[in-house]
Amino acid sequence: MHPTDFTIRGALEALSEGIVSSEALTAAHLEAIAALNPRLNAFVTVTAERAMEAARASDARRANGIAGRLEGVPLAIKDLFCTEGVRTTAASRILGEFVPPYESTVTANLLRDGAVFLGKANLDEFAMGSSNATSAFGEVENPWKRGNDDGTRLVPGGSSGGSAAAVAARLAMGATATDTGGSIRQPAAFCGIAGMKPTYGRCSRFGVVAFASSLDTPGPVARTVEDCALLLESMAGHDPRDATSAKVAVPDFAAACARGVKGLRIGVPREYRLEGMPDEIEALWSQGLDWLRAEGAEIVDISLPHTKYALPTYYIVAPAEASSNLARYDGVRFGQRVDGADLKDLYERTRAAGFGAEVKRRIMIGTYVLSAGYYDAYYVRAQRVRALIKRDFDEAFRDVDAIVTPATPSAAFAAGEKQDDPVAMYLNDVFTVTANLAGIPGLAVPAGFDRQGLPLGLQVLGRDFDEETVFAVGTAIEHAAKLTALPQVRAFA
């Protein structure tokens, strides 16, 4: 066994027993990054020296009897989280060489608990995308290959594509990610790992580059559900610097993983059975429900009638908020600047040069739906439909404890596919976006493979601030699935 093969839980045990040091774990991951990152492009920035220093400091703390809950665990940080003294790009040209003078709350919490940061993970520009193709730092390759490998490069999903690819290929034990419409769960499913979007308000957004503030949710990706629980416990908690951060106690999420599902009522929404959905995904879904039934859960048919309106609602709400949030990039206070004839020309040329095509599209849509004369017809109407989507979930959760659906409508697709039609790309998030609109927690858990050997995931949705039940259901699926296949591209393979 190589140090990069540890789960976080396993590494913490090995560290506490003195079988391995954080220095050795960190060095092994950095070696794997040096070998594979030129191909996978999962990291935008590798902070090797800082990581080794942090690992040695962690080992010294542990030797002195002080061990945080993630003491010595090497992680990747999505390059949307501000890290003090380390360039933060949001995978956009417009931020230039921006070096934050402060640390995001989520990463500060992880550092407080002893985690070691390996570097900053690639993503779609400003987290806008479902394939990591919109990054100004280039595409990320999915470490999984089709069984009949014809050399096709597959996308890792997005927007947290670098985080998911790094964890799947064992370049990091876990990673931070963010989810605005599915950006944790879709890449986790495409890369065969677990990813948790917690309840809105569970993790602080302070220091996370804003995309759509009422939807943006930081959360973890890792190779097991329990590892996600361990990471979330550290990342979560009330933060006075985020007005939407919830004053809710952080429970022992890892303990909840082992609760089992006996007696739980699991909802199966009929509206998630899409026309033209691959039969493999349909079969995986049925299999997952059978596993839960065998463990003592009761499976209940439910209806979420406004599901089909979730994506179009999202594509009004998210661009509207994005157009406001991204107004700050004007070439004056930080980031890239392109000079112009006057101040307005400076703004316009800076933004034209700094933003990529997808970001510009969304700024344009957002500006339009917020503009005079269209605000009520588009934006306010979308907010009303959003209320109906939330009401659907509220009613469903009066009857069931959790909901299980497929995580994505397909396995990972090839690089270059779906690039010409924005709406086809948006459909990737059809199963995930509802949880963002309603604010509820959602977990992607690896559950099987398609005929070509590519990972497929199931999604578990839960009530507001009931991540514990979500973790319990996810763990039951994970244990029943007993997956052993590994991605073809991985550390020390």
Partner 1 sequence: MSLDLKTVRRVASLARLHLEEGEDARLQAELNGILGWIEQLQAVDVSGVEPLSGGGGTAMPMREDVVTDGGRAEAVLGNAPDRAGAFFAVPKVVE
Q: Which residues inside 22-61 make contact with partner 1, applying CB under 8 A?
A: none
Angle between helices 8-16 and 22-40 (to 10 degrees): 150
Closest to 183 in 3D by CA, of 50, 78, 305 = 78
Nearer to partner 1, 106 or 268 (CB): 106
The answer to the question of residue 7 lying near partner 1 (CB under 8 A) is no
Q: Quick count: other Cβ atoms within 10 Å of Cβ 104? A: 28
Closer to partner 1 by Cβ: residue 113 or 464 = 464
CB 155 within 8 A of CB 190: yes
DSSP notation for 163-195: HHHHHHTTSSSEEEEEESSSTTHHHHHHTT-EE
| Residue of 17, 49, 150, 421 that binds partner 1 (CB under 8 A) | 421
Place of tokens 């040096």: 34
Candidates 323, 408, 459, 469: give the one binding partner 1 (CB under 8 A).
323
What's the closest the beta carbon of residue 129 comes to partner 1, in angstroms? 15
Stretch 134-173 residues interacting with partner 1 (CB under 8 A): none
Q: How far is the CB of 309 from partner 1 (least distance, A)?
A: 6
Residue of 22, 78, 120, 234 marked active site: 78
**Residue in 349, 419, 452, 480 binding partner 1, rule: CB under 8 A:** 349
> What would the two tokens of residue 2 be?
């190589």
Query: Is position 398 an interface residue for partner 1 (rule: CB under 8 A)?
Result: no
Active-site choice (130, 183, 204, 245): 183
Using CB under 8 A as the binding rule, whether residue 346 contacts partner 1 is answered as: yes
Partners of 459 in the β-ladder? 405, 444
Q: What is the CA radius of gyration of the chain?
A: 21
Q: Is 213 a catalytic residue?
A: no
Per CB under 8 A, does 485 bind partner 1?
no
Site for partner 1 in 364-383 (CB under 8 A): 364-365, 367-368, 371, 374, 377-378, 380-383
Which residues have a Cβ under 8 Å from the Cβ of 9 and sit 6 or more positions away?
Answer: 224, 226, 227, 230, 254
Residues 132 and 453: beta-carbon distance below 8 Å:
no
Task: Decide whether 301 or 421 has the Cβ nearer to partner 1.
Answer: 421
Residues 204-263 touching partner 1, rule: CB under 8 A, are 213-215, 217, 240, 243-244, 246-247
Is residue 274 at the binding interface for partner 1, with CB under 8 A as the rule? no
Examine the residue annotation and report whether 58 is marked as an active-site residue of this protein. Answer: no
Cβ–Cβ under 8 Å, residues 71 and 113: yes
Residues 84-123, interacting with partner 1 (CB under 8 A): 96-99, 101-102
State the Cα–Cα distance between residues 47 and 70, nearest whole angstrom. Answer: 19
159 included as an active-site residue:
yes
Work out which of 360, 417, 453, 488 binds partner 1, going by CB under 8 A.
360
What is the smallest separation between the CB atom of 244 and partner 1, expressed in angstroms? 6
Burial status of residue 299 (CB atoms within 10 A of its CB: 0-12, 13-18, 19 or more): middle
Report the residue from 2, 270, 384, 451 that binds partner 1 according to the rule CB under 8 A: 384
User: Which of 68, 251, 260, 312 lies at the binding interface for partner 1 (CB under 8 A)?
Assistant: 312
298-302 β-sheet, strand order: 43-46, 116-121, 74-78, 174-179, 217-222, 194-197, 442-449, 455-462, 402-406, 265-269, 298-302
Joined together, the tokens standing for residue 339 give 């000079």
Shortest approach of partner 1 to residue 73 CB, angstroms?
Answer: 29
Q: Should residue 328 be labelled a site residue for partner 1 when binding is judged by CB under 8 A? A: no
- Kind of pairing, strands 74-78 and 174-179? parallel
Among the listed residues 119, 182, 187, 335, the single contact to partner 1 using CB under 8 A? 335
On the CB side of 115, CA atoms within 13 Å amount to: 28
Classify 169 as helix, strand or coil.
coil
**Where in the sequence numbering do the catalytic residues fall?**
78, 159, 183
